Structure 1
Amino acid sequence: MKNCFIGQSGGPTVAINASLAGVITQCQKEGFTHIYGMINGIQGLLKNKFIDIKDKFNSEEKIDALKHSPAMYLGSCRYKLPTVSDDKDTYDLLFKKFNDLEITDFFYIGGNDSMDTVAKLAAYGETINSPIHFIGIPKTIDNDLMGTDHTPGFGSAAKYVASSMLEIAYDSSIYKLDAITIVEIMGRNAGWLTAASALARTECNDA
């Protein structure tokens, strides 16, 4: 028997439901008995909020619809898992849930904090000889996950930024005015999205 948990965390991107669809599809091919979806990520799981989504996506049409759905199907959270030394009870509670449901695999789709959660669970699992596979699936528009060339979510955000900058530049260029437009672009400690604004430069403008 193979059972898994899948969760989504952090901010939504164009790609995050497509990543979820990919995990569900492969788990179905691998013959998982139960595919549990955490409602609002690890925070929801701690409150026993999860559903079995195996039978909800039993056709190519439903999987394809999920791939193109906006936002996050399973909901999200902004929860940073504490360290074992700070809160061992949380780990004991999670692993009890895993054992009760005979979980063999854990998939978490998200950015930095989500990958941190996966790393912490995997490390604790090793200390108690847990056979569960903990797998992080990268997603972040900031493109700042170590070890990745580019992350799902970054491409669509970069295109949005460049398109917006180009529209601002064209709109400004129709007037005979000297103008400065300041656009604030997010990125936490990374500058990839800001750098992507240079894609707006064309032979007609130097935005």
Structure 2
Amino acid sequence: MKGNLLIAHGGGPTTVINASLYGAIEEAKKCEEVDAIYGSLGGVDGILREDFIDFKKQPQQKLELLPYTPASAIGTSRTKLYEEDYEKIVQTLVKNNIKYLLFNGGNGSMDTCGKIYKFAAQHDIKVIGIPKTMDNDIAVTDHSPGFGSAARYIAVSVAEVAQDIKSMPIHVCIIEALGRNAGWVTAASAMARKKEGDAPHLIYLPERPFSEKEFLEDVKAVHEKLGGVVVVVSEGLKNAKGEPIVDPIFTRGRDVYFGDVSAHLATLVIKELGIKARNEKPGILGRASTTLQSNVDRQEAIQAGALAAKAAISGETGKMVGFKRISDQPYQCEAALIPIEEVMMHEKIIPDHFINTRGNDVTPAFIEYCKGLIGGPLPEYAEFR
């Protein structure tokens, strides 16, 4: 089916979203059925504005930089869409002879992708989703491109902080990781450990109710034993009532902005235990660091983009590229197509068998799951005690 191909990004970027873009572009170039290979500048907003770039007109040397370029090279958006917007999107696709649409994004974006697919079906436009999220919370797929690099970043960062705390063990350091409802990135901090007793000493995930009493007991016990304590917490910690442990600081419509969990807990340690404490929040640094990009993550992101393009051009539609785990040792996954309806707005949280009984650490099963995704061993450091 002769026509143009369009790629759009949705939601927060990752360090490998452009790697998927690269994979899709290079695969589409091989196909005679594809005329222009468009990128939407600014996500769905770019589609609505008809603001496109043709990658066939870009120098190859610039395209080769895409797998190593952070954020989204073509922009992205979180625009809330209504039925009339979906109709307008499809009209734009028809107007520009776009026969193939690839939508790269997370949970919300896969929901958008699924709705566009239904509106576009009557015009024989093929729609394929490419998973993208550092949060790793897209359902059905074993993992999502973006997570492996975020996992490597938090693991290396915690390992480096741990060296600092160990060299002068007098206080508690609380590190806050992204992931409001799913604690995959927080859990990945456990990959920093090389031996028993290494930091992080405590890990708290949003999948378990957070108890300030138990938290203070845990911190006190580790501090009495080691002197210095490294704790990693999720930004989305909630109490037994399901309420965020920090109060909202700003509300606008449906959007609610909360204070920093790590700052709140550091203050709690100081007030209740009388121990010096400080907080760190890497935040957006964790999804923008190509310096700590996982090579496995990058290659799988390219693979996902390429398979999406190949699938759409061969006639597949209403699917998302996903990954199926074949083995942990050696790590091996295969890419496959998943019906988009199975994915739309279904959030994947950390299962119970990845969390310890106390709720302050992960299990060896999680370590096995995560090990192959971070792209090889972490840096080694000199230690003399």
Task: Please indicate, yes or no, whether the TM-score normalized by the shorter chain is above 0.5.
Answer: yes
| TM-score (normalised: structure 2) | 0.49
For residues 205 and 95 of structure 1, the distance between their equivalents in structure 2, rounded to whole angstroms, comes to: 54
For residues 97 and 199 of structure 2, the distance between their equivalents in structure 1, rounded to whole angstroms, comes to: 58
1:167 maps to 160
Q: Quick one: percent identity of the two aligned structures?
A: 42
Residues 176 and 24 of structure 1, relative CA distance in 2, 3 Å threshold: closer
- Give the strand-richer structure, 1 or 2: 2
1:80 maps to 80
CA shift at 1:150, angstroms? 1.1
Contact 2:94 2:123 in 1 (8 A): no
CA shift at 1:130, angstroms? 2.3
1:196 maps to 188
Q: Which is higher, the Rg of structure 1 or of structure 2? A: 2
Gaps of at least 5 residues in structure 2 are: 201-385
CA shift at 1:124, angstroms? 2.2
CA shift at 1:176, angstroms? 4.3
Which aligned pairs between 1:15-94 and structure 2 lie closer than 5 A?
15-31=16-32, 32-57=34-59, 59=60, 61-82=61-82, 84=83, 89-94=84-89
In the alignment, does 2:165 pair up with 1:141?
no
In the alignment, does 2:182 pair up with 1:180?
no
In the alignment, does 2:96 pair up with 1:101?
yes
Secondary structure of residue in 1 paired with 2:130: strand
Corresponding letter in the other structure for 1:20: L
1:150 maps to 143
For residues 201 and 9 of structure 1, the distance between their equivalents in structure 2, rounded to whole angstroms, comes to: 34
| TM-score (normalised: structure 1) | 0.89
For residues 120 and 92 of structure 1, the distance between their equivalents in structure 2, rounded to whole angstroms, comes to: 10
Contact 1:7 1:41 in 2 (8 A): yes
For residues 26 and 183 of structure 2, the distance between their equivalents in structure 1, rounded to whole angstroms, comes to: 34
Residues 156 and 53 of structure 1, relative CA distance in 2, 3 Å threshold: same
For residues 63 and 193 of structure 1, the distance between their equivalents in structure 2, rounded to whole angstroms, comes to: 29
Which 4+ runs in 1 deviate beyond 6 A? none
2:214 maps to none
Contact 1:4 1:104 in 2 (8 A): yes
Task: Give me the CA root mean square deviation.
Answer: 1.6
CA shift at 1:109, angstroms? 1.1
Corresponding letter in the other structure for 1:47: R
- Indicate the larger mover: 67-76 or 145-154: 67-76
For residues 20 and 102 of structure 1, the distance between their equivalents in structure 2, rounded to whole angstroms, comes to: 20
For residues 127 and 81 of structure 2, the distance between their equivalents in structure 1, rounded to whole angstroms, comes to: 15
Task: After superposition, give the CA deviation of every residue in 1:74-110 in whole Å (9 maximum; x if it has no partner).
Answer: 111112333x3xxxx2222212111111111101111
For residues 20 and 94 of structure 1, the distance between their equivalents in structure 2, rounded to whole angstroms, comes to: 20
Secondary structure of residue in 2 paired with 1:182: strand
2:13 maps to 12
Contact 1:108 1:118 in 2 (8 A): yes
Secondary structure of residue in 2 paired with 1:81: coil
Corresponding letter in the other structure for 1:24: I
Gaps of at least 5 residues in structure 1 are: none
Residues 176 and 189 of structure 1, relative CA distance in 2, 3 Å threshold: closer
Secondary structure of residue in 2 paired with 1:104: strand
Contact 1:141 1:152 in 2 (8 A): yes
2:259 maps to none
Contact 2:159 2:199 in 1 (8 A): no
